[in-house]
Amino acid sequence: MCKTLKLCVLTAALAAVLAGLAAAADVTAVNELVDRSLQWNGKTVAIEGEAIGEMLPRGNYAWVNVNDGTNAIGVWMPLADAKKISVYGDYHHTGDTLRVTGTFSRDCAEHGGDVDIHSDSVQIVKTGGAVGHPVSGGKKAAAAGLSAAALLAALFCFGPRAKRR
Ligand SMILES: [Zn+2]
């Protein structure tokens, strides 16, 4: 039995909050990019959102539309990355959740002045499926944070106790 239960709970709660903040902090909302496109132009950005519609292959590359709930943007990515996406969002499906890091352009010279992101990396954060009760990326991050926090709390409780005067 943990004798410092209150402190453990507090530690766990704090760790979970910090994990949640860290997960949210390094992703930029698509609408923020579009709204303040001058400021973000040419910068490396990370977004997380749902692959929607369909892949549009162009040689060794492909366009994939990513919607993060605030707005949608075209992501120019290697065809090999696009092929990793198994589900695209439509009326009946929730698309795969992608985490894309890449260069944001407000008027891409290569693509006729379009607003787009040229990917450096594409990760599938969550596989989509038929529309049901999807677990959001945020909840997933919070769950991961809680697990880490529980581990920390366990270490704190069951590890060597600090000496007290
Ligand atoms: Zn482009």
Ligand 1 centroid to Cα of residue 125, in Å, is 23
CATH code of the domain containing 100? 2.40.50.140
What's the mean pLDDT when you consider all of the chain?
85
How far apart, in whole angstroms, are the C-alpha atoms of residue 46 and residue 53?
21
Map residue 109 onto helix, strand or coil.
coil
On whether residue 12 sits in a domain, the answer given is no
Summarised one tens digit per residue, pLDDT across range 42-53 is 999 999 999 999
Ligand 1 centroid to Cα of residue 127, in Å, is 26
Ligand 1 centroid to Cα of residue 63, in Å, is 9
pLDDT band at 142 (very low <50, low <70, confident <90, very high): confident
Summarised one tens digit per residue, pLDDT across range 1-44 is 556 667 656 666 566 555 655 555 589 999 999 999 999 999 99
Domain that holds residue 38: 24-134
On whether residue 57 sits in a domain, the answer given is yes
Map residue 46 onto helix, strand or coil.
strand
Summarised one tens digit per residue, pLDDT across range 60-81 is 999 999 999 999 999 999 999 9
On whether residue 89 sits in a domain, the answer given is yes
Domain count, the chain: 1
Q: Are 17 and 138 in contact (CB under 8 A)?
A: no
Ligand 1 centroid to Cα of residue 9, in Å, is 48
How far apart, in whole angstroms, are the C-alpha atoms of residue 90 and residue 132?
13
